[in-house]
Amino acid sequence: MTILTGSEARGFLESMIDAETQTQMCGMELTLQKIERFTSAGAVAFDNIERELPQTEMMDFAPSGWIDLPAGAYLVTFNEIVNVPKDAAALARARSTLLRCGAGLETALWDPGYRGRSQSLLVVYNPHGLRLKKNARLMQLVFMRLEKEAEKVYSGKYQGENI
């Protein structure tokens, strides 16, 4: 497995705000499109038939483009559409500035063959909250080349999400 450079991974993203700025040494940065707050509980079981996603409510940015978030958990959707090739997978890390502001992102694995406008869990730990501006760069997506094409590709519920 090899980590791809940002320039090698650039072709795996669509709808970037500024491809030059978002291309980093070892990956691509994803930017904030929208934020939702949770309004109900979710349910996770071994069998996805019993899976139940929580209800959410859209949060509005001020006319200035900023939003003030109190401490808590939020669902964020990114602007970029991610296209993972059959011979790659991706992991993400929060930008260090986000961490230094007292917030983090919880993410999952981007499987071979996944295509969609991804979501992550933003957790604001700072008791004083966090200010975010629409299109803020929140995380870096790191692509890894597999030694061979995956035996099967992602075909789950989230394929093509938010496109």
Kindly state the DSSP code that residue 59 receives in the 8-state scheme: E
Side-chain-side CA neighbours of 128 within 13 Å: the count stands at 3
Instruction: Report the percentage of the chain scoring pLDDT > 70.
Output: 100
pTM reported for the whole predicted model: 0.94
Question: Going from the N-terminus, what domains does the chain have, and what CATH number goes with each?
Answer: 2-39+53-145 (2.70.40.10)
Is the pLDDT reported for residue 68 higher than 90?
yes
Please tell me the distance from the alpha carbon of residue 102 to that of residue 127, in angstroms, as a whole number: 8
Q: Which 3-state string (H, E, C) describes 83-95?
A: ECCCCEEEEEEEC
The identity of residue 89, as a single letter, is A
Query: What number of other Cβ atoms are within 10 A of residue 141's Cβ?
Result: 26
What pLDDT, in 10s, does the model give residues 10-44? 999 999 999 999 999 999 999 999 999 999 999 99
The SS3 assignment for 80 reads coil
pLDDT at 1: 82
Q: What is the rounded average pLDDT of the residues 35-60?
A: 96
| Residue 159's pLDDT band (cuts 50, 70, 90) | very high
